Structure 1
């Protein structure tokens, strides 16, 4: 059963990529946005369907779930939404994938899809929105049809996407374990994390390496642990750490400058029953404007990170060399070289930031470049 579901899930991912390719978006910069958001919608829809059937078993026998939910008195529907899991997005009957598919031959179907997704985002904004360092909320969904430049093809594009989501249900997939979702997530993003050069916030740590780091760190079985990654990427280090502690016994915190990474991390949290931590995910520059330095918690029980090793941060280097940052960057700030600014050792700042944010009894694991200990020349001022 697990192998069958894993293959079906991978087939769905490939099918969504195929749709993007057929509409001129293959390997386009927006392809990952469409893929992640469509996959996210499918999972959220099926989890909602599963949960309402568990809460009201009579719904499992309904020929048309939309009509059955639509027929419920408002108070009964509100109570049903209250009873479903906190990790489940709240849907209106008209948000259901099955209902949306019945409308695909209507005029302006693309607009219907866009409006449906945006309404789901608005309905669930409080819990499912990632924040920027300035406090703005980044919603769950964009207007996906607008990635197609030709207006006349948008309806067909949205039809093709929706019809790829309909054929089978993920309702039984939510009983699977962490390793299943980790494998699926790696497959989902494998084409979007190929930058071995280590550009800012685009590092990716393989599941096997992340699992080893988590096992080395976690020896305490007590709950209510706080876990942080200042350059989280797609969140594999944090997911493995949370799994080792227990997803219901920890809270995740992160910051990352990459918009792509933030959207992937949110999906990773949804996959792994860590929805309660989505409001702690910040899109922003940790080194220049650390968000979690101004709000609780002021320190963390566990910190994991695979930060960018080298990056040109000369634009704001001097502003870091301030009295306010003296304690945070206690070992100094790398100087601006006369050439090869793109090789400035920014990982040294991440290491210091991690040490600054670690609690007195906390533990950290950091991926560092080869030669970190044995390098002959210093890079800090």
Structure 2
């Protein structure tokens, strides 16, 4: 490992440590999930503030004798600076609202929480009428600066927020291309830490990093670039970004139901250097209100809510669900999400989705859908069984289904990785070695004893289209043969020891003298 990489990793680790300490030290009476919105929003605001300062000073005023703050005071510069920034960055922050300006106000004893409120409102207002308006609308709506949880009076709330701002200001964060990624990764680390403390709610916004890697590597296998990637239940956007780690992605698309999580996802994309012109994410119920019409995407990935309720009424009139003849049950929307994703997958695309094991073998309408997908569509390429207790909020084992629309064979590749994990106190985890083993096995697509099997179409038919992994991958381990002669000898030796002990005990009893009362 080069010294540069070591320095970057050290910098990132220190940044993560500091951020989590700030979060724990300053959240007061709030639980971690509540304080999440404050610290992540303020980290994001600092990011935007530093971004605008660096952009103006290093791109627009590089050859000038003035800096951003000085130039903005001059009428000849002001409008040009704002216009260029809005066009390239999609937002604008006046010098009086910069993060560094807020820090000065705090140090001079002049800060009021209303100053921050005006600042975040001004950022959003700067995008009105611009191409970026939809991407920035409502980004800070979860930053409730009037909440009594911050303090019972404006002065107490100002003091709390000022403490967070000063702590974040002390972090050494620079914004060249590499270090933006470091900051973005630290930001996502915080999302993961908050998820670990959020119990069952965590699954709504965060997919464990190693599981994201499996899906991302599966859809990018053999592909260096992707025109587009789509996640219909995008959460915090971590899965979309993971795909971007594995291949060059030109455009990101996503939809998210929860408003807070939708904001978090947009922030996360921007924090990772994805320009507002290169993503289109929407808020809403994916199954009820599909924002992407008949658009097709090069890769589709998702970790949808498991066995969620949905409304199947009238869905067979919907192009996404019509072909299957049956709808997913009202209490189990798993296949509805799969159908939606397949509808949006390009003809040369790959899709990966993580779901509960029940989708592999449940009958009724789900059985009909599963059979149609295999027999008539021939898109299902692989079934990968994962260990139990990997996800926040649930201990159930899960499976990754990989689909391709350009398949030339009708076999299905099964991998049973359910026994490969590191056991943790609260959750099991996958290591990079576990992930690499899964992906390398999938790439080779060869039988591996006790681990992987290429199932022919005839095998699938023989099993009545039941995809339960143990039907195809035999992980049973025979016990070591028992040496009966050795066992007999050991039992005889034990009998001898027992007889010897009994004789000694009887001798001791015989020596006892009975004591009678006088």
For Structure 1 versus Structure 2, the TM-score category normalised by the shorter chain is 0.7 to 0.9
* Partner SS state of residue 189, structure 1: helix
Distance 2:144 2:278 in 1: 22
Q: CA deviation at 1:200?
A: 10
In structure 2, relative to structure 1, the CA distance for the partners of 1:204 and 1:143 (3 Å cut) is: closer
8 Å contact kept, 1:201–1:231: no
- Figure out how many residues of one structure are paired with residues of the other and give that number: 353
Partner of 2:333: 346
Q: Deviations over 1:214-249 (max 9, x none)?
A: 2332234456x12111111111221122233324xx
In structure 2, relative to structure 1, the CA distance for the partners of 1:75 and 1:292 (3 Å cut) is: farther
* Partner SS state of residue 229, structure 2: strand
Partner of 2:297: 300
Q: Where does 1:147-158 land on structure 2 (aligned, <5 Å)?
A: 147-148=147-148, 150-151=152-153, 152-158=155-161
Distance 2:202 2:364 in 1: 22
Partner of 2:219: 217
Mark the structure with the bigger radius of gyration.
2
Partner of 2:243: 241
Q: Where does 1:179-218 land on structure 2 (aligned, <5 Å)?
A: 180=182, 183-194=185-196, 202=204, 204-218=206-220
8 Å contact kept, 2:22–2:164: yes
Q: Where does 1:207-286 land on structure 2 (aligned, <5 Å)?
A: 207-218=209-220, 219-221=222-224, 225-247=227-249, 250-276=250-276, 280-286=280-286
1:355 aligns with 2:342: yes
8 Å contact kept, 1:130–1:139: no
Distance 1:353 1:17 in 2: 38
8 Å contact kept, 2:219–2:350: yes
8 Å contact kept, 1:122–1:139: no
* Partner SS state of residue 103, structure 1: helix
Partner of 1:10: 16
Q: CA deviation at 1:305?
A: 0.9
Structure 1 stretch displaced more, 253-262 or 349-358 = 253-262
Partner of 1:77: 78
* Partner SS state of residue 309, structure 2: coil
Distance 1:4 1:92 in 2: 34
Of the three residues 346, 350, 356, the one matched with 1:369 is: 356
Partner of 1:40: 44
Q: Which runs of 5+ in 2 are unaligned?
A: 1-6, 369-518
Q: Where does 1:108-127 land on structure 2 (aligned, <5 Å)?
A: 109-124=112-127, 126=130
Distance 1:101 1:195 in 2: 30
Q: CA deviation at 1:51?
A: 2.0
1:163 aligns with 2:166: yes
Distance 2:257 2:351 in 1: 21
Distance 2:318 2:202 in 1: 24
8 Å contact kept, 1:87–1:270: no
Structure 1 stretch displaced more, 349-358 or 145-154 = 145-154
Q: CA deviation at 1:286?
A: 0.3
Q: CA deviation at 1:79?
A: 3.0
Distance 1:371 1:326 in 2: 22
Q: CA deviation at 1:287?
A: 0.7
Q: Deviations over 1:44-99 (max 9, x none)?
A: 1122222223122368x97xx6642433x234233334555834742211121121
Q: Deviations over 1:122-149 (max 9, x none)?
A: 2135465657xxxx94234555421235
* Partner SS state of residue 121, structure 1: helix
* Partner SS state of residue 57, structure 1: coil
Q: Deviations over 1:9-30 (max 9, x none)?
A: 22442254245423x2233x53
In structure 2, relative to structure 1, the CA distance for the partners of 1:87 and 1:367 (3 Å cut) is: farther
Distance 1:243 1:110 in 2: 38
TM-score by length of 2: 0.60
In structure 2, relative to structure 1, the CA distance for the partners of 1:165 and 1:196 (3 Å cut) is: closer
Distance 1:160 1:329 in 2: 57
Structure with higher RCO (Cα < 8 A, 6+ apart): 1
8 Å contact kept, 2:180–2:271: no
Q: Where does 1:121-140 land on structure 2 (aligned, <5 Å)?
A: 121-124=124-127, 126=130, 137-140=137-140
8 Å contact kept, 1:46–1:170: no
Q: Which runs of 5+ in 1 are unaligned?
A: 337-343
Q: CA deviation at 1:327?
A: 4.5
Q: CA deviation at 1:117?
A: 1.5
Partner of 2:386: none
8 Å contact kept, 2:316–2:327: no
8 Å contact kept, 2:231–2:300: yes
